[in-house]
Amino acid sequence: MPPTPPAPSQLIVLPIRFSVVEVGLYRCASPTASQIPYLSTLGLKTIISLTPEHPIKPLLTFAKEKGIKFMHIGTTLWRPLSDWKPIRDEIVKSALEMILDMRYHPILLIDPLGIHHTGCVVGALRMMQGWNFASILVEYRAHSGPSKHRLSDEQYIEMFDPDTINIPPLECLPCWFSPESGSDVSEDEEMTEEEIVSSESEQDPDSEEKM
Q: Tell me the pLDDT tens digit for each residue of 22-62.
A: 999 999 999 999 999 999 999 999 999 999 999 999 999 99
Tens-place pLDDT, residues 67-120: 999 999 987 666 666 688 999 999 999 999 999 999 999 999 999 999 999 999
Greater pLDDT, 146 or 201: 146
- For the cut 80, the answer to whether the pLDDT of residue 10 exceeds it is no
Q: Cα(203)–Cα(11) distance, rounded to whole angstroms? A: 71
Contact 38, 14 (CB under 8 A): yes
Calculate the alpha carbon distances from 169 to 24, 47, 100, 172, 181 in Å: 18, 22, 10, 5, 16
List the CATH code of the domain at 19-201.
Answer: 3.90.190.10
For 195-210, the pLDDT digits (tens) are: 434 444 444 545 444 4
**Domain layout of the chain by residue ranges:** 19-201
Helix residue ranges per DSSP H, 45-110: 57-66, 73-76, 89-99
- Using CA atoms, how far apart are residues 141 and 138, in angstroms rounded to an integer? 5
CA distances from 104 to 2, 83, 86, 207 (A): 52, 31, 25, 60
pLDDT-derived band at 161, boundaries 50, 70, 90: very high
For the chain, helix, strand, coil in percent to 5 are: 50, 10, 40
